[in-house]
Chains A and B, each alone.
Chain A
């Protein structure tokens, strides 16, 4: 075949491929944000922790790792990141537990993610290929990326607004800093884009402390479609359960409490029942904090209508959750029906 190619054509192909690689790398360096996951994985892997909190944005704002440490006895670290696909959690868990030190994993199930898969997500934390080490890199490629859209595999960026372009100097200054390269946890607030006037403050150990209400945040009620639950998410959860069983880890699933307005307007009950049944089948405890008694709250306890908690509510939820885990008495701590949940809601 190759003898049919003239040297000139061959050179043109090589130049074409090389130029594309150069542009791809340049765009990745400039446009993709510096990775919070990279820093969190490093801290969770090498820090002195034995309790891991995982999930998406509800988990980084909803559970205070310091209270978890105090109440459950141990040292907790929160590696939750927004938009993390469930299959990525499975690989992140393996990566941080290389030294087999984790005894408990608290995994927050956000219903809103269960009908979305890995495909089409961009950003420095969507593709874990270069954040994983050893054989996990190959497994991840084989498992996740081979099935993904080709630009999910190569290009780790997208242009979603002028902000992406404005961020280029910030991206470059962080990526080329020594602290970022050596995974210094002190640089996390800068990488995550925390500012003095922001809605969050960084509490350390991956915890986002909600401090201010986001007035302009637009949130459209979600239409949950049970038929659209993705098998890839269920498969990933099953794999996490198996991994935890094999490694003697106590996996606990939970769901962070949503604002009263969402509970009133969305079909949360269907998903609750779905995960209760699923976790029962997998023999994993599942604590849906939407059903917990005594977590009095109003919309003002959240930084937005979507359900990211202010610090006070997060602390309250964390304390309750730890009590629940310790006592394991469902009747005492949880409402049994959704009607009861709605009856006891605040504004």
Chain B
């Protein structure tokens, strides 16, 4: 039997180790859990209490504990993969057959990802859970892309190969980003991760504010809408007409609140350690074209695809040959455009498959790929038409039309997320036009819940609008009187407490990808 002191030590150990000593079955690490908060609080306290030079090593320890809590042996795979990447990067710098080494290492990383993440999806449920619980490292989809970007950057001599293994290890497994990204580049993260961060109250304050704002978006807005969205699309009854349209609009807000809320929590946690991370969202719903939307939504993935798939593919030999052939058939201008269009379709198809193996994911990728391709191919015709109609691009009404068009196309694209297959998505689109069958009994919200949800969504819109106008709300708020700040944050905390609890709301949609 343990005595009282030992029990206290064990309890503290458990908090420090996060979920590590917890041997219950767990398939997700919930970053909204009290345990995660304890883990962060103790992690930060130790971080700022140890010598500066040891701090990044403490982050490695925290990251391994976090990984261990999610899958018992997943950290071994991360350890081995990062060691391979570390060695290969050094070899690339000195070897003569750089390309072969790069391709070999990339193949290994991709094979591991495909085997662990995608092929396991084909296994029976019990085996799948077992493999996820014991073997698949948390965040494998995110860190695999990160290490591939590192290898490519070394290969293209954008950055030198890192000589310290522990640094590559931390870059691979830095725990906040293991949950749902963002997908960072080594040259961005290196100065952040390994700088000697002194304790600054501002970092903690801003970090906590970002965490709370993330919780607000997730719990008050996304989870509450999630109940309605689930009842419309995933409760077994088919939605029709206006029910589908409202459901898709709500799903867009839910996904935005959920995903960007999760990223805010992650960035907030990282900021508390003094480590800045790129934002994955830049007010995407203010976009005036589909292309712009994807430059503002999941920015790090889009940027990764552009840098490591789109450009290499566009300038590849096969595309060069295609361009040469097309020049003779349609002329130089259109040849370039067709090549760009094909590259876009490929990139989005890949992004779709990255999300999952379902035909709806592929359909999603192809939908956006073809939309962007059409935009590229029809650009000059559109400009011609615009000139004939004397439309100026800066005119507000034109901006409004573009915004509405983009919003409608994006909203329509959610059908792939709200169905289980490509066929299901097509059926959903068909049902969308059967207005007589609309059923509003699926919107089971009380009046107060509805009012609060609308108010919260309007708050989100206003905050995004201010960000769009380059207003830093945190800076503006910090200039205000202390008591005003106090009231604002107490209100947000109370909003989360009063309205942010939805039974079995589930975690973040992109969590543990």
Residue numbers in B under 8 Å from A15 (CB-CB)? 486
Docked CA distance A117–B502 (Å): 11
| B303 interface residue (CB < 8 Å to A) | no
Partner of A149, one of B30, B45, B201: B30
What 1/0 mask marks residues of chain B from 483 to 513 whose CB sits below 8 Å from any chain A CB? 0001001100110111111111100000000
Chain B, residue nearest A149 (CB) = B32
Partner of B448, one of A12, A148, A160: A160
Partner of B496, one of A19, A147, A151: A151
| A182 interface residue (CB < 8 Å to B) | no
Are B486 and A19 interface neighbours, CB within 8 A? yes
Are B498 and A145 interface neighbours, CB within 8 A? no
What 1/0 mask marks residues of chain A from 130 to 145 whose CB sits below 8 Å from any chain B CB? 0000000010001001
Docked CA distance A180–B235 (Å): 42
Task: Tell me the A112-131 residues at the B interface (CB within 8 Å).
Answer: 115-117, 119-122
Residue numbers in A under 8 Å from B107 (CB-CB)? none
Residues A145 and B503 in contact in the complex (CB < 8 Å), given A12-B482, A20-B493? no
Are B501 and A158 interface neighbours, CB within 8 A? yes
| B125 interface residue (CB < 8 Å to A) | yes
| B403 interface residue (CB < 8 Å to A) | no
Are A150 and B49 interface neighbours, CB within 8 A? no
Are B25 and A157 interface neighbours, CB within 8 A? no
| B118 interface residue (CB < 8 Å to A) | no
| B198 interface residue (CB < 8 Å to A) | yes
| A24 interface residue (CB < 8 Å to B) | yes
Residues A4 and B201 in contact in the complex (CB < 8 Å), given A147-B30, A161-B447? yes
| B196 interface residue (CB < 8 Å to A) | no
| B446 interface residue (CB < 8 Å to A) | yes
Docked CA distance A231–B126 (Å): 12
| B449 interface residue (CB < 8 Å to A) | yes
Residues A120 and B45 in contact in the complex (CB < 8 Å), given A147-B33, A158-B498? no
| A29 interface residue (CB < 8 Å to B) | no
Partner of A223, one of B235, B452, B504, B505: B235
Are B501 and A142 interface neighbours, CB within 8 A? no
Chain A, residue nearest B498 (CB) = A159
| A5 interface residue (CB < 8 Å to B) | yes
Are B33 and A150 interface neighbours, CB within 8 A? yes
| A16 interface residue (CB < 8 Å to B) | yes
Docked CA distance A76–B500 (Å): 39
What 1/0 mask marks residues of chain A from 20 to 32 whose CB sits below 8 Å from any chain B CB? 1001100100010
Docked CA distance A340–B32 (Å): 47
Most buried by A among B48, B497, B499: B497
| A162 interface residue (CB < 8 Å to B) | yes
Residue numbers in B under 8 Å from A119 (CB-CB)? 503-505
Chain A, residue nearest B493 (CB) = A20
Docked CA distance A27–B499 (Å): 13
Docked CA distance A27–B493 (Å): 12
Docked CA distance A157–B498 (Å): 6
What 1/0 mask marks residues of chain B from 116 to 138 whose CB sits below 8 Å from any chain A CB? 00000000010000000000000
Are A4 and B199 interface neighbours, CB within 8 A? yes
Interface size on B, as a range, is: 35 or more
Docked CA distance A235–B24 (Å): 9
Please report whether the interface of chain B is mostly helix, strand, loop or mixed according to DSSP.
helix
Are A146 and B198 interface neighbours, CB within 8 A? no
Chain B, residue nearest A225 (CB) = B236
| A295 interface residue (CB < 8 Å to B) | no
Are B14 and A149 interface neighbours, CB within 8 A? no
Chain A, residue nearest B35 (CB) = A146
| A324 interface residue (CB < 8 Å to B) | no
Are A27 and B486 interface neighbours, CB within 8 A? no
| B110 interface residue (CB < 8 Å to A) | no
| B156 interface residue (CB < 8 Å to A) | no
A50 CB to closest chain B CB (Å) equals: 30
Residue numbers in B under 8 Å from A1 (CB-CB)? 45, 48-49, 199
Partner of A5, one of B30, B45, B201, B503: B201
A289 CB to closest chain B CB (Å) equals: 26
B133 CB to closest chain A CB (Å) equals: 11
B77 CB to closest chain A CB (Å) equals: 24
| B37 interface residue (CB < 8 Å to A) | yes
Docked CA distance A138–B125 (Å): 34
Are B499 and A159 interface neighbours, CB within 8 A? yes
Are B486 and A151 interface neighbours, CB within 8 A? no
A112 CB to closest chain B CB (Å) equals: 12
Docked CA distance A138–B499 (Å): 27
Docked CA distance A145–B30 (Å): 13
Residue numbers in B under 8 Å from A235 (CB-CB)? 24-25
Chain B, residue nearest A24 (CB) = B497
Docked CA distance A162–B198 (Å): 48
Docked CA distance A173–B502 (Å): 28
Docked CA distance A117–B501 (Å): 13
Docked CA distance A119–B32 (Å): 11
Residue numbers in A under 8 Å from B94 (CB-CB)? none
Are B32 and A23 interface neighbours, CB within 8 A? no
What 1/0 mask marks residues of chain A from 54 to 86 whose CB sits below 8 Å from any chain B CB? 000000000000000000000000000000000
Are B24 and A149 interface neighbours, CB within 8 A? no
Closest 8 pairs between A and B when the two form their complex, measured CB to CB? A155-B497, A120-B503, A1-B48, A159-B498, A223-B236, A146-B35, A153-B34, A150-B34
Question: Which chain B residues have a beta carbon within 8 Å of chain A's beta carbons?
Answer: 7, 11, 14, 22, 24-25, 30, 32-35, 37-38, 45, 48-49, 125, 198-201, 219, 235-236, 446-449, 452, 482, 486, 489-490, 493-494, 496-505
Known: A117-B504, A121-B501, A161-B448. 19 other contacts (CB 8 A): A5-B201, A15-B486, A27-B494, A31-B498, A138-B7, A146-B35, A146-B38, A147-B30, A147-B33, A147-B35, A149-B219, A150-B33, A151-B219, A158-B498, A159-B499, A160-B446, A161-B449, A162-B447, A162-B448
Selected A-B contacts with CB under 8 Å, 16 pairs: A4-B198, A4-B200, A9-B201, A23-B490, A23-B493, A119-B504, A119-B505, A121-B501, A122-B501, A146-B34, A149-B219, A150-B33, A151-B500, A153-B34, A155-B497, A227-B125
